[in-house]
Structure 1
Amino acid sequence: MMTRFALTVVRHGETRFNKEKIIQGQGVDEPLSETGFKQAAAAGVFLTNVQFTHVFSSDLTRTKQTTCGILEKSKFCKDMTVKYDSRLRERKYGVAEGRALGEMRAMAKAAGEECPVFTPSGGETLDEVKMRGKDFFEFLCQLILKETGQKGQFSQGAPSNSLETSLAKIFPLGKHCFSEFNSDSGAPGLAASVLVVSHGAYMRSLFGYFLTDLKCSLPASLSKSELSASPNTGISVFIVNFEKGREAQPTVQCVCMNLQEHLNRVTEMC
């Protein structure tokens, strides 16, 4: 039996160190700036009608505050319990944390390497970050598979349809994506809709895993610039399909990546 769920990934709002281009990683736990709180609220307003069944966040302050800002604006998820997971933390930059981005680039140059491939002393390699992302994603798939089996959601069309409808109303590319799956008579509705709040370098690594390892399909309209680093509170949505007991890897379809139209409201407010 095929299981499908939606995965919405949001980067945290801006911090003072983001603006000053200072490396935070895991060791510098900077809170959101005034702009960062406005961005989180704007993302929350944009997502206000989306029905999430699960919410996960990195356990660092900037992601916790962003998650709170998003859920405060939600019509359906205000009282939802957030699960904080250290696997969603930003890449660890070791001795470069707390230093200017320019300093890390100089370290990389001295080592004969370039960012982001360069790993500062005490930091994580890109492969290590990727493995954290893969571990969390596989955990998520197994969690939803287990919960779906317990609830027998496939025999109840309404809940999954409402999850699908709430996303399709907000994400224009989603309408084509969802109808494409539904045209297959064997395609079930969404078993879950998951919100994840994380960090820029971590998200780039996770999306790279989707694209390279899982051969994630992209909307034809997606420009190359949208595949770069996510802006603060950039929103990306994926539809994940997998089968119980099958050796085959999950298939992932990108609905949108690094969406930032909600940030126009922040510019108007400032």
Structure 2
Amino acid sequence: MSVKKIYLIRHGQTDFNVRGIVQGSGVDSSLNEAGRRQAARFFAAYRHIPFDKVYTSVLRRTHESVHDFLALGLRHEQHAGLNEISWGTREGTRITAEEDEEYFGVLQQWRAGQTSARLEGGESPDDVAARQRPVIELLTSRPEEETVLVCMHGRAMRVILCQMLGYPLSQMDSFEHHNLCLYQLDYTGSMFTVRNFLDVRHLQETHV
């Protein structure tokens, strides 16, 4: 098969991002003004790419981030498997190191390889990886879709990059992310490789 090109982006900024409030899969927020500018800049930089399909989570912040591409009439699929991790009872709350030892304790457990750990009522990285696998199978089993755009969420993006690139989930923090950042991957039919790592050049003013 020919090389499949995957453009993987995180959604644009929301007010929750600015305020340090955990969204997860249970808070269906919209982009703020800055997030809409980020989406417009990404579109301006990549509208020339002949995407065969756009994949998003079911949450509106991903749909809004690729709105201009969908307005071109590109085919679109949304999958709950691409949703952000569920942070359980902590969703919708502001978390800092001083305020929530439990939250940061779970992050430490993940880094130590205890990726089945979760916050109360939430998901573990193992849970997220399991629901992502059918979506990865879709992406890799459709040779007619040579170039795809995937919009998802920060923590979930770290998990899916680990899965695609063969890293243990304990290493997911190696994959940094920013609002509307881009990872570009190639899939050869047997393996993924990264062509572009944490690219934010499109967010510069010169692209508008």
Interval of TM-score (by shorter of Structure 1 and Structure 2)? 0.7 to 0.9
User: 1:194 matched to which residue of 2?
Assistant: 148
Superposed CA deviations along residues 105-142 of structure 1, whole A, max 9, x for unmatched, are 42236xx5435735211111011112222221112212
User: 1:108 matched to which residue of 2?
Assistant: 103
* Cα distance, 1:229–1:24 mapped onto 2, change above 3 Å: same
- Taking only aligned residues, the RMSD between alpha carbons, in angstroms, comes to 2.4
Equivalent-residue separation in structure 2 for 1:37 and 1:115 (angstroms): 33
Instruction: Establish whether residue 255 from structure 1 lines up as the match of residue 202 from structure 2.
Output: no
How many residues are aligned here? 197
Equivalent-residue separation in structure 2 for 1:130 and 1:195 (angstroms): 20
Which structure 2 residues correspond to residues 139-158 of structure 1 after superposition, within 5 A? 139-142=138-141, 144-145=142-143, 148=144
* Cα distance, 1:193–1:107 mapped onto 2, change above 3 Å: same
SS at match of 1:25: coil
Equivalent-residue separation in structure 1 for 2:128 and 2:31 (angstroms): 23
TM-score (norm 2): 0.85
User: 1:203 matched to which residue of 2?
Assistant: 157
Instruction: Give percent identity, aligned residues only.
Output: 26
User: 1:240 matched to which residue of 2?
Assistant: 187
User: 2:178 matched to which residue of 1?
Assistant: 231
SS at match of 2:48: coil
Equivalent-residue separation in structure 2 for 1:113 and 1:61 (angstroms): 27
User: 1:180 matched to which residue of 2?
Assistant: none
SS at match of 2:187: strand
* Cα distance, 1:133–1:228 mapped onto 2, change above 3 Å: same
Superposed CA deviations along residues 167-204 of structure 1, whole A, max 9, x for unmatched, are xxxxxxxxxxxxxxxxxxxxxxxx61011110000101
Q: What displacement does 1:101 show? A: 2.4
Counterpart contact for 1:44–1:71, Cα < 8 Å: no
Gaps of 5+ in 1: 73-77, 149-190, 215-225, 243-249
- The structure with the largest alpha-carbon Rg is 1
Q: What displacement does 1:100 show? A: 1.2
Q: What displacement does 1:210 show? A: 2.3
Equivalent-residue separation in structure 1 for 2:40 and 2:69 (angstroms): 6
Superposed CA deviations along residues 206-253 of structure 1, whole A, max 9, x for unmatched, are 111123359xxxxxxxxxxx94321101011111011xxxxxxx2111
Equivalent-residue separation in structure 1 for 2:26 and 2:157 (angstroms): 18
Gaps of 5+ in 2: 111-116
Which structure 2 residues correspond to residues 46-195 of structure 1 after superposition, within 5 A? 46-72=45-71, 78-102=72-96, 105-108=100-103, 113-115=106-108, 117=110, 119-142=118-141, 144-145=142-143, 148=144, 192-195=146-149
Equivalent-residue separation in structure 2 for 1:69 and 1:34 (angstroms): 15
* Cα distance, 1:68–1:116 mapped onto 2, change above 3 Å: farther
Q: What displacement does 1:3 show? A: 4.5
TM-score (norm 1): 0.67
Equivalent-residue separation in structure 2 for 1:108 and 1:115 (angstroms): 9
Q: What displacement does 1:21 show? A: 0.9
User: 1:7 matched to which residue of 2?
Assistant: 6
* Cα distance, 1:125–1:5 mapped onto 2, change above 3 Å: same
Equivalent-residue separation in structure 1 for 2:91 and 2:106 (angstroms): 18
Residue type of the alignment partner of 1:193 = T
